[in-house]
Each structure stands twice: as C-alpha cells, then as structure tokens.
Structure 1
Amino acid sequence: MPVASARQSPAHASVESVFREERGRLLASLVHHFGDLDLAEDVASEAVEAALAHWPAEGVPARPGAWLLTTARRKAVDRLRRDQAYAARLAVLQVEADRAAPAPPPADADGDLPDERLQLFFTCAHPALVAEDRTALTLRCLAGLTTPEVARALLVPAATMAQRIVRAKKKIRQARIPFRVPGADELPERLPGVLQVLYSIFTEGYAASSGPQLQRIDLAEEAIRLARILHRLMPAAREVHGLLGLMLLIHARHEARTGPDGELVLLEDQDRSRWDHTMIKEGCRLAVSALTGGPPGPYGVQAAIAALHDEAADLATTDWPQVVALYDVLLALAPSPVVELNRAVAVAMRDGPQAGLALLDGLAGEPRLRGHHPYPAARGDLLHRLGRLPEAAAAYQEALDLAGTEPERAHLRRRLHTIEPPGPGDRADKPST
C-alpha cells in the first residue's frame, strides 16, 4: 500500500521508513494471529493511516513497529466483532493454523514484533500456487511493493497483476494452505521453491527480460534484501547461504556491466576495479559455508563458479578447468539445457572454440533453448572465433531477433557489423522489434 512521501514531514518519513522495513514482519504476525491475508493487509494499512494521524502530534514511539502491530491487532478485533460470520470463518482457519504449528509468545506494545516472516516465505511460495503467482505474492507481501509496483517489476499490466494477486490469495484461502514453516520431513522438498522465487526476482533484476535497460538494479537489490532476511531466519540452511552468496557475487559486478550510455560491457572487457570487492568477499565466505558440512547443493555450486570469476584477475587467468568441473557437478545436481550451454562456453575457454561449438551443436534440438537468445549468441561468438563468418552472422542475426533489451540488441548489431559492414537497407542496420 502506498504511504505518504517523505517530503511531507519527519513523521510521514518515519512511517514510510518503518513500514518499508517492518511490513513483512507486521503482515506475517497479523496473518499468523488472524489466519487471513486480506484482513492482515487491510488492518496494516489502517494502522499506517493511524500513525500518520497521531505521530506528527504525539511523536514517533520508541518502538514504532510494535505500535503498528498493536494498532493493527485492535483494528482487526474491532472488524471481527462487527462481522460475526467473518469471525467464524477465521476461527476455523486459526484452529487449523494452531494445529499445524504452536503459536509464539504474544507481543505487546512495549516489545519487539514477533518475526513470523519465515512462515510467510513458505506460504507465498507454496507449491499449490503457480510459479508466477508465487513471485508476485512474495514481492507484494514480503518486499512491501504495491500492486502497481509489482506489475512494473514483472512487466505486466497493473490490472493483470491485481487479478494474479487476488487469485493467489483466493487459492491460499480455498485450499486452506497452512501458515507455517514446513516440518523437518517437508523442508528439503519445500525450501527449493522459496529459493527459486527469490532467484527469479534477482534474475529479472540482473538481466531484464525486456525494455531499454540491461539491468534493473532496484529489483536485484530487493531480491538480495529478501535473501538476507531468509538467511537470518534460517542460518543453518546451507543452500540459503549459497543463494545469497551467488546473488552477491553476481551483483558485485553490476557497476561495470554497462557503459556510460547503458551499453552492455562483456565480462572480458569489464573494469574489474569497479567491482564491489567487499561484496565479493562476503559472497565468497557464503559460498564456502554453503559447500561445507555436507553434500553440495545447486546454489552453493553456482556461487563457487561465480567466485572463480570474481577472484580472477582477468578472463584469461580464470581457472577454467575448475569452472568446467563445477559445471559437471551442477549438471549432476540440477541438469538443464541452460547449465549445458554455460558449460559449453566454459569448455570453449578451456579447450578452444571448436570443442565448445561441438557441445553447443549437440544442443540444437533442445526445445527449452528455442527463444533463448544466449544460445545463438554463444554459437555466433564461437563461429566468429573460428573464422566461419557467414554462419556467425546468421547466428548473431537469430540472437538479435530474440534479444529482449535494447543494450543486448545493440551489442548484437555491433557484432554483426564487425563481420560485414551494413549497407543501405541491411537488416542489421535496423532496430529489432
């Protein structure tokens, strides 16, 4: 829900700051207590409105988050007293939630908010919800984005996003999805879904699917913020370490990934002094902890690959044999054509372009790579290195037709121009649609 601009008054700024920081905890506590996401969102909004009315005159309370929680709970109780039928339905939901997990000690206005966000993570990422709804609900409930902001983040119309969020909440209500952390027997099966939602958010920020910009820094940083919360809530979960480490190691390069005009800068051409080396050190520590104490997981292995890239002085001195070996491990853990594509590129760096091209050509019939522009782009680069220029031009043109962002299209047009300068009316001279 929108809150007032920080320019209006210090009290308005405090409400906005508190709500952004505490929204997930506030909503999680309310849902745990009352068992209904819609009610929780409504009374959370009413509590913020009350804060905007009272704080300018009375001052910001010492524990503003707890003040909001107490106010929201009172408003929820008042609403339930006015609507007995609604209260009866919520009572059933609450009994089911209480059976599923014991309630935490209650908080009062002088205490800190109880932190039930872990339960909210698993509710938003429940496997009964379709993947797109999980991502939308996570951004809405845990990141605190408004519905229009979620729509912009996921590049869909606001009306479509509103319907998607309503559908997800309805599914939670009708399917009686319990608001709880899965038990030890369920956790290995359920945690990857939560991690995948966060990684999907980060991936859209790291490499936007469409639009004028290569990266969407705000979305990537929101995914990292959520991953940090999950890391604090699950400090023993090694794959959470791996995911956070992977995000940090990739995001550490974001300043160098584009030039002054937003153009794409390849890894081999990036000014590594512009990388965030403090972030890299943290990411490397997390990668080590993710791979320590048991069998490796997919995110821990990907973090280790990213660490090898970040620790190398340049592309040539990267430990490509180790990168290929880690991709072999990743393929055994989480086989996918995209992993095979990335491994083929690493093999090309280790053994030469012909070896990599042979692996890429072996993926030519893979349906999941159709429409994935990095595949023809990688083929074009290897064909170019081998001097097979007409084939390289065809591969670059295929990638250009598929690329989603303008910086990627501009990069591919430059690649085409290095093979054959464009003439009047040449396709490569025209913006791709």
Structure 2
Amino acid sequence: MDADLEHLLRVEAPQVLGALVRRFGRFDIAEDAVQEALLAASRTWPDDGMPDNPRSWLVRIGYRRMVDMLRAEQARHRREQEAGVTELALRKPDRRPGPARETDDSLALLLLCCHPTLSTTSQVALTLRAVGGLTTAEIAHAYGTTENTMGTRISRAKQQLARTGARFTPPADLGRDGRMAAVTQVLYLIFNEGYTASTGDRLVRVDLTGEAVRLTRMLHHALPDDAEVTGLLALMLLTEARRPARTGGHEELVPLDEQDRRRWDGDLIAEGTELLDGVWNRREIGPYQLQAAIAAVHAAGASPERTDWPQIAVLYLWLERLHPTAPVRLSRVVAVAKAYGPARALVLLDDLNHRFGLDRDPLVRQREHAVRAHLLRMTGDAANAARLYREAASLTGNQIERRYLLARADHLG
C-alpha cells in the first residue's frame, strides 16, 4: 500500500470509528466495520482515485457494514428466541448517514478504551488498535506475543465494554469520572514500550513512540491547563529528542554518557522545556512533571561531565516519594552513583534490595543486575561486573540491549 494512503487511513480510522460508535453505541462490532471500510478503501482507491471527502466515504461504507451486522445479529436473536435480548441501537436502518462531522473523536475513543473495568494491558492494546490505528500484528509484536493471542485479548476487551454498557464519552467529560489517571498511564506505557522495546531486534519502536506523542499532544490541546498532561507531553518530547543518538551506525546501543549530544533534537528539547516551564511553578507537582524535569536537566547538560547530577538525584528522591516504583528506585541509584560515587550507590542499592527485594522482582531483576554491574565496574570489580552483565543479558528479550550487555561483559574479560 502507498505510504501516503496508509498514513491517511491510519489517521482517519479513529474518526470513522467514533462516528459509528456515536451513531450505534456498539463499540464491540463497530471496530470490525471500520476495518472492512479501510480494506475496501485500500483495494479501490489506488485504481479509482481518492474520493473528495475520504472520511465521509469511509463512514458510509462502515455504516452499511454496521447495518448488515446489526441486522444479522437481530435475525440470529430472533431465530434463537432468546429472552431479554439487549436492545440494539439501530433505529432506522434504511436512513443513509449524513456527511461525517469534521471533529476529532480520538479523545472520546481514548476514554472509552481506558474504561476502568479493563486491565491495563487491555487498555493499552485497545487504545493502540482503535485510536492509534496499529494492526493486531504490530501490537502483538510490541508485546512479544502472537497475533492470535493479541487478537483474542482485544476481542475480549471489546466484549467486556459491551457487557458493562460502556458509552461513547464526549471530550467535554474529560476527567470527570476519574479516568484521566488511566489515560495518562496508558499513554506513558505506550511511549515507554516504543522507546525501549521489550522484545525484538530493534531498540526503538518509532510507531509506538510516535503514536504516544500524537495522542498526548491531542490530550494536551484539549486540557491545556492540566499540569500533569503538560508534564507528560514535555517528558515525551525531551526523551524523544535523544532518540537519534541512542544507536550507532550498526544499530548498537549507545549509553547516555557516550551519546553525541549534537544529534539530540534541539527543537523537541526547546518545546519540551517551554511546556515544563509553563507548569513548574504550580502548587502541586506530579510524577510526570518530575520526570520531565529530570529529562530537562539532562538536556541542559552540554556534556556528561557538565550534567547536574546532584539535582537529578534530588529530583529522583522526590519522585520516589510520590511514585515509589522499582524503576524509579533504580534510577535514583544511578543518579546517586553519578553525583556521589559508586560506593555510596552500592550501599543504597543494597538497602533498597533489603527493603523492597528489587533483585528478586522478575519485572526489574534484569535492570537491577545491569545497574549493579555498572556500579561494580566503576569500583574496579571487573569479574563480578562481567558476571552480572551476562546475567542481565540473559534476562532481556531485546536483542540490541542483549548485545550491548554481552559486549560490556566481554570487554571486562
């Protein structure tokens, strides 16, 4: 498929889905109707030419397919003579849909996909599928699972929404039902998975980071006064700015201290810093703003030696108090090592392991081993550092990260 056509269909998909869900109230089958409309477009537009109003064309085809599916469902229910069948939202099946509204339904879909009855994994997968326009295969690859498994998970999530009677929530209701925490968490998880893919032979999934930034921009546009949404967008931009320097010519991982900072994206750094400055003096500071502040301090350092590591260590301590997670604790250990030396950082790491069992947590054990190996290398304990680098390499599913860790171990002997 032509790249421009593929991009157009990906952008229009959530709008078409929103139009169908708004009209019929059936998210569980509307997504299937949208996919059939997109497939029809990909088959006919290259030969027949693109219609004057692509969105209206897609809505019309999706509407027809939706009517067919609802009629088939009604007929099946009548044949089975089931009692208490849920009333369908189909009122006048022969009425043709009017022109598609030129509004962005992505926010309403995002809220629907982040329904509190769904698990976090289902929220992320459904958001990527319905709002981000990623294929089931792409989402499965991001999570290191099969397409069939991910398809089943997405299907169950849609069925769960249908059972709970979830409604298409207009953007005006943003934040009123306490769902914003789930929305920002989903966007944050999507970006992180893209920035360092958990599996595969690529360090970065640009499709995921790009979607996360696009959706967060959209959310910030709708909620410009929400400090945490602003902080999340700033964090993504400041972090994404470093992406061009994170890999070398042979796709090898380049750690932060060795990156060519001239390759960092100055425009993204300027935009992210300006966003953060606009909300930093608010009375309440949240976790995303703190993480953005840490990224901003990194961006302000002209070199690793001129980075304000004591300030970063303090910010991580503040962040840990607000958001006491294992990744934050390990990041604080690294900052303490840079600011005050590896011996002090090892004492801190031992204390955190004693209190929170980071070295026994399967979700962060790989990173704990890598951090400890780094600290031991700094102290001159090459043998134990090499051993831990190899153990960390055995625990990661990302091939580029694995090669980096093994190279570190081999260098130490």
Name the SS of the counterpart of 2:397 in structure 1: coil
Aligned to 2:107: 118
Q: Does 1:297 align with 2:290?
A: no
Relative to structure 1, the CA distance from residue 361 to residue 56 in structure 2 (aligned partners, 3 Å threshold; closer, same or farther) is closer
User: For the Cα contact (< 8 Å) 1:337–1:363, is it kept in 2?
Assistant: no
Q: 1:292 to 1:38 in 2, by over 3 A?
A: same
Tell me the residue number matched to 1:423.
none
For the pair 1:6 / 2:5, whether they are aligned, the reply is no
Matching of residues 15-414 of structure 1 within 5 Å? 16-48=6-38, 51=41, 60-77=50-67, 80=70, 84=74, 91=87, 108-109=98-99, 112-180=101-169, 187=176, 189-365=178-354, 366-369=356-359, 370-371=361-362, 372=364, 373-414=366-407
393-402 or 190-199, which moves further after superposition?
Answer: 393-402
Aligned counterparts of 2:324 and 2:104: Cα–Cα separation in 1: 36
Tell me how far apart the structure 1 counterparts of residues 47 and 372 of structure 2 sit (CA, whole Å). 65
Give, in whole Å, the separation in 2 of the partners of 1:294 and 1:53.
54
Q: Within 1, Cα distance between the matches of 2:412 and 2:32?
A: 59
Aligned-residue offset at 1:171: 0.7
TM-score with structure 2 setting the length: 0.86
Report the CA distance shift for 1:188/1:258 in structure 2 as closer, same or farther (over 3 A): farther
In structure 2, C-alpha distance between the alignment counterparts of 1:151 and 1:243, rounded to whole Å: 25
Alpha carbons of 1:229 and 1:186: their partners in 2 closer, same or farther (altered >3 Å)? closer
Distance 2:25 2:270 in 1: 41
Q: What letter matches 1:197 in structure 2? A: V
Deviation at 1:51, TM superposition (A): 4.8
What's the % identity of the aligned pairs? 41
The amino acid across from 1:349 in the alignment is K
| Counterpart contact for 1:151–1:158, Cα < 8 Å | yes
What CA distance in whole angstroms lies between the structure 2 residues aligned with 1:29 and 1:393? 56
Tell me the secondary structure at the aligned position of residue 402 of structure 2.
helix
Q: C-alpha separation between the residues in 2 aligned to 1:401 and 1:329?
A: 32
How many aligned positions are there? 398
Structure 2 CA distance for aligned equivalents of residues 55 and 149 of structure 1: 24
Deviation, 1:188, is 7.5
**In 1, Cα distance between the equivalents of 2:379 and 2:406?**
19
Deviation at 1:228? 2.1
Q: 1:301 to 1:282 in 2, by over 3 A?
A: same
State the Cα deviation string for residues 312-370 of structure 1 (Å, max 9, x = none). 10111111222122112212221112211111211111111111111111122434553
**Within 1, Cα distance between the matches of 2:266 and 2:317?**
28
1:337–1:78 distance in 2 versus 1, CA, 3 Å: closer
1:59-112 superposed Cα distances (whole Å, 9 cap, x missing partner): 5444322343344335534654565467996756799xxxxxxxxxxx942x64
Taking structure 1 as the reference length, what is the TM-score of the superposition? 0.82
CA distance in 2, matches of 1:28, 1:405: 35
CA distance in structure 1 between the aligned counterparts of 2:296 and 2:335, rounded to whole angstroms: 15
CA distance, structure 2, for counterparts of residue 284 and residue 315 of structure 1? 19
- Contact 1:129–1:171 (CA<8 Å) still a contact in 2? yes
1:41 positional shift: 2.1
Determine the C-alpha separation between the residues in 1 that align with 2:375 and 2:243: 25
Bigger Cα displacement from structure 2, 381-390 vs 366-375: 366-375
Change (3 A) 1:168 1:409: same
Tell me the amino acid that sits aligned with residue 387 of structure 2: A
Q: Which runs of 5+ in 1 are unaligned?
A: 8-12, 96-106, 421-433
Q: CA deviation at 1:277?
A: 0.8
Deviation at 1:225, TM superposition (A): 2.0
| Cα drift, residue 140 of structure 1 | 0.8
In the TM superposition, residue 387 of structure 1 has moved relative to its aligned partner by: 2.1
* 1:162-191 deviation digits (Å, cap 9, x = unpaired): 110111011111122233269979648321
SS in 2 for 1:189: coil
2: CA distance, partners of 1:81 / 1:218: 37
Is the Cα contact below 8 Å between 1:29 and 1:114 reproduced in 2?
A: no
Mapped to 2, the partners of 1:315 and 1:342 lie a distance apart of 16
Cα separation, partners in 2 of 1:82 and 1:189, compared to 1, 3 Å: closer
The superposition leaves residues 268-302 of structure 1 with CA deviations (integer Å, 9 ceiling, x where unpaired) of 11001111111111111222234343411111110
